[in-house]
Amino acid sequence: MNTLRTRRNPFFLKCKDAAALASAQLDEPLSWSQRFGFQLHLAICGWCRRYARQLAFLQLCIRRLPSEAPENVKLSDQARQRIQAVVIQAHERKN
Amino acid sequence: MTPGGEPSLAAGAERAGVDPAVWVRDYGDLLFRCAVARVRNVASAEDLVQVTFLAALKSLDSFRGKAPEKHWLTGILMNKIGDYFRRIARENRAGLENLDDAEQECFKRDGFSADCWIHRLGPKKWAAQEASLDQKEFWATLRQCCSRLPVKLSEVYLMRELDGKSTTEICELLSVSPNHVGVILHRARAGLRRCLELRWFGRAATGEPKP
């Protein structure tokens, strides 16, 4: 991942790099060496294990967020009338 | 409210039983919910709904009712949201450049363990994670946390998570480098994680993990 500063040893990650990879792996597959370094780091670092778990949990939550939206999110009456008027007008003009 | 009337319907749409006069009533709220979840700004979301209906009217002839009307309209809305982001990105490139990193201060600055978690500030244990999912208050907190993120961050992040856009697609949409998108997404996640930790899990948070 190019966000990481170049280090002497790509397999010896610091927590900061591991945190970036914990996010990156949710977006696209890591390269072989990234995965290796990341897993190696997770094996010795409880903080980053926890961090990666939490990011994964967060992703799950965010994806469920719309279906948990309260039903009361609605167009305001004003907006509804305005849009209705515009749509009807455009529709009539078309025909 | 059906001044649009049956006889004036376009041929293709008529076959599919589409009546634009009832769109706002039937789909207005649905589209609005979709839009407001992604762009957050109520006024922009309203505009997007309106633009969607107008675009739908224009392409009414080509709609043959293959997909349900609802999905057809939602699809148009998603395209319009894409346009909206592209416009925002063009108008306000700077907005995506200077976003501070909430997590930066959680890592040690120098010494042998530079860039390691400062234990006091590192990720705390989240108690009863799964059980939170059933609580209304949890979702309210999460929504609040989303709205506390800088707008640019949350919009890019929601584009990624809700619309399943790949980083490559987001790069093209906003014309920024993949590298930059990665940073934006990470900052959004880090900000949300921290916010949830403070405002939800914080009550029961405990210290160091057992490796």
Within 8 A of B178 by CB-CB distance, chain A residues are 2
Within 8 A of B131 by CB-CB distance, chain A residues are none
CA distances from B108 to A14, A66, B114, B201 (A): 10, 37, 5, 24
**Tell me: the pLDDT tens digits for A26-83?**
999 999 999 999 999 999 999 999 999 999 999 999 988 877 766 667 888 888 889 8
Q: Give the highest mean pLDDT range of B79-93, B134-148, B186-200.
A: B186-200
**CB-defined contacts A:B, below 8 A:** 161
- Using the Cβ of B195 and the Cβ atoms of chain A, whether some distance falls under 8 Å is answered with no
B164: DSSP letter: -
- Using the Cβ of A23 and the Cβ atoms of chain B, whether some distance falls under 8 Å is answered with yes
Within 8 A of A94 by CB-CB distance, chain B residues are 10, 57, 60
Which bin fits B160, alpha (ψ -120 to 50), beta or left (φ > 0)?
Answer: alpha
- Using the Cβ of B3 and the Cβ atoms of chain A, whether some distance falls under 8 Å is answered with yes
Task: Answer whether 0.80 is exceeded by the pTM.
Answer: no
- Using the Cβ of A55 and the Cβ atoms of chain B, whether some distance falls under 8 Å is answered with yes
Distance CA A41, CA A12 (A): 7
- Which pLDDT band holds residue B203 (cuts at 50, 70, 90)? low
For chain B, how many helices (H) and strands (E)?
10, 0
Are residues B117 and A15, on separate chains, in Cβ contact within 8 Å? yes
Of A2, A26, A57, the CB nearest to B179: A2
Strand partners, B107: B117
CB B168 within 8 A of CB A27: no
CA distances from B16 to A54, B11, B19, B27, B64 (A): 46, 9, 9, 16, 6
**Tell me: the pLDDT tens digits for B27-59?**
888 899 888 888 777 888 899 999 999 998 888
CA distances from A30 to A44, A60, B82 (A): 19, 20, 27
Strand partners, B117: B107
